[in-house]
Amino acid sequence: MEIEYRDVMLNQSFDNKREAIISAGKLLQERGYVTENYIPKMIERDQMTSTFIGNMVAIPHGTEDSKAEILRSGIVLIQVPQGVSFDGNEVKLIIGIAGAEGQHLELLSEIAMVCSEIENVEKLVAAQDKDAVIQLFEGGAAA
């Protein structure tokens, strides 16, 4: 999985999870991964089942019927050092995903490899520059 500078936003803050999900969706759209119509599907998906996965991480993504809105696979990483509540769970790392042509599970697997270790998430949240975030994430584990 390749992550570019433009896929990463540092030191963001949100009043609520809806704002956070919309921000992730807009970044996915700006990067050419999805259409604008994917964003409401991300909100709908979180209402069905929370996209909070533990270890201060949420992975907002679209519903099953939003596949037509995905232009190409990609992920965006949003660092929220002060945290935002996802139904009472503190989230400090938001990873928006769009998986085209069945790549959804592959993306989730790669994210899980990094985010299953709380130490990796803490390093991602504390990172001061995009290089550090990309290096930690693409390395599959913290250095």
Q: What is the pLDDT of residues 11-62, one digit of tens each?
A: 999 999 999 999 999 999 999 999 999 999 999 999 999 999 999 999 999 9
* 61 belongs to the catalytic site: yes
The closest alpha carbon to 22, from 5, 6, 4, 34, belongs to: 34
Domains of the chain from N-terminus onward: 5-138 (3.40.930.10)
Q: Is 72 helix (H, G, I), strand (E, B) or coil?
A: coil
The pair of structure tokens assigned to 121 is: 């998430």
Q: Which residue among the candidates 31, 61, 104, 123 is catalytic per the annotation?
A: 61
Contacts of 7 (CB under 8 A, 6+ apart): 27, 31, 74, 75, 76, 77
pTM of the full structure = 0.93
pLDDT in tens, 76-111: 999 999 999 999 999 999 999 999 887 878 888 889
